[in-house]
Amino acid sequence: MIRSLAIPSEIDQRLVPNQLEKRIAADLGRIEAFQDHWDRPQIEQFVAADFRHLYQALSWIRETQMLLGNRFLEWGCGFAVVASIASQLGFDAIGIEAERELLREGARTVDLWRQPVELVHGNFLPHGAESLADDSTLPSLGHDERSAYDQIGLELDDFALIYAYPWPGEDDFHEAVFDRFAAPGAMLLLFCGPNDLRLWRKQP
């Protein structure tokens, strides 16, 4: 069972360091340029996540929430900006991405940020997770890539905090996977659109 936690609206008053603002602006420019030539169907609806707000939320979580440990996982990390932010905040961050082209961009981000983020090419869904979906056409299903967990020797329940930006209509599925496979006490942060950050904790 998972419980929703309110994120105070005042977190948007948190100071974002100047250097981080500049890094985010540069990454948004790279994402925009990339989108102009990427031809996958989902990308037509894609709006980049609000990385400033995510920095504010992650710094608030780190300061105020009980965390099971220091491991942070970005499901479908794309450009790995959020994993880089988490790493800058002191988390041991891992990003999993199925698309090689995106993972290359993620590696570039990690280099530019000079953060020790581990990037893994693979499927972020744990074995057996696909059966939790009530719609077989969800974009995160059916990836042929190897399980990322087998490659890193960790399971989903080894992570204290998981972040995802689900494609539209996938948020319930992400929550169900977290509920089934995360450790009791772990947290899930979802970006579901501008000003729509959702935070969950799996009940012990």
Ligand X SMILES: C[S@@+](CC[C@H](N)C(=O)[O-])C[C@H]1O[C@@H](n2cnc3c(N)ncnc32)[C@H](O)[C@@H]1O
In the complex, the residues that contact ligand X under the rule CB under 6 A are 49, 74, 76-78, 81-82, 96-99, 102, 123-125, 139-140, 143, 165, 167, 191
Residue 96 corresponds to which tokens in the numbers above? Answer: 């999993």
Provide the minimum distance between the beta carbon of 85 and ligand X in the complex, in angstroms, as a whole number: 10
Question: Are 75 and 96 spatial neighbours (Cβ–Cβ below 8 Å)?
Answer: yes
Residue nearest to ligand X according to CB distances in the complex: 76
Closest CB to ligand X among 26 and 203?
26
CA dihedral 31→33→34→38, nearest 10 degrees, is: 130
CA dihedral 96→102→106→108, nearest 10 degrees, is: 150
Provide the minimum distance between the beta carbon of 203 and ligand X in the complex, in angstroms, as a whole number: 25
Provide the minimum distance between the beta carbon of 102 and ligand X in the complex, in angstroms, as a whole number: 5
Closest CB to ligand X among 9 and 45?
45
Question: Are 16 and 25 spatial neighbours (Cβ–Cβ below 8 Å)?
Answer: no
Closest CB to ligand X among 22 and 184?
22
Provide the minimum distance between the beta carbon of 2 and ligand X in the complex, in angstroms, as a whole number: 20
Q: Under 8 Å CB-to-CB from 20, ≥6 apart: which residues?
A: 55, 85, 88
Provide the minimum distance between the beta carbon of 155 and ligand X in the complex, in angstroms, as a whole number: 15
Instruction: Give the CA angle between residues 25, 57, 164 to the nearest 5°.
Output: 80
Closest CB to ligand X among 68 and 96?
96
Question: Are 177 and 126 spatial neighbours (Cβ–Cβ below 8 Å)?
Answer: yes
- Give the whole-angstrom CA distance, residue 73 versus residue 198: 16
Closest CB to ligand X among 177 and 186?
177
